[in-house]
Structure 1
Amino acid sequence: MKYSGSCHCGNVKFEVEGQLDGVMSCNCSMCQRKGALMWFVPRDALSLQTPEEKLATYTFNKHVIQHRFCPDCGIHPYGEGSDRQGNRMAAVNVRCLDDVAIESLAVKHVDGRSF
């Protein structure tokens, strides 16, 4: 299924395709503050509908994940990185997707503070 998403002000728009079966809730210092619910997909499944220049990037800790956000409204719609096999991945914040019943999704809790 294809989903559309954006930041709050709409300056960052994207589409992502895949089967949204569940999400991850992480308690690391970043996710805890954002309140993000993340859905992991291959990076190629996410396509930006706006120029990449409209995004800002934040990294922390080991600097392996690029937390992408809108510099105007501050919303973090997704992050980019690689899985343990080296495959490019996107971590989509499902709270930024249109027409998704978040309360119906299975949530896996991850102790990101221990990483």
Structure 2
Amino acid sequence: MTSRFAPLALSLILAAPLHAQQAADSVAPEAAGTAETTFADLPDRVQAALDAKAQGRPSEAQEWMIAAANPLAVEAGAKVLEAGGSAADAMIAVQSVLGLVEPQSSGLGGGAFLVWYDAE
């Protein structure tokens, strides 16, 4: 009796991904925004860095610098450093925010880089 239903069960299992893909295809992607509309409430230092980037000017720092694909992640790392956290703490904050704002590009085991200098 079980062998009679095996082809039906197999066909239902194989058809499930097709239904999921059709459901995903019916959702329209969100509209692209500009840095001005997407990141309207950024602190002045982050806005200044975005402006320098748009004008093709380099950014400079005397004590520390954070670079990431999203200004919100940069700000999270900067707040950690300002509160006395280490570079490793800031990196974890940056990667955590990137996991939220760019889940398709970041996550556990994903793209964090660190340049470390130990004066000792």
Give the TM-score range, shorter chain: under 0.3
Greater percentage in strand: 1
Determine which structure has greater relative contact order: mean sequence separation of CA pairs < 8 Å that are 6+ residues apart, divided by chain length.
Answer: 1
Give TM-score, length-normalised by structure 2. 0.24
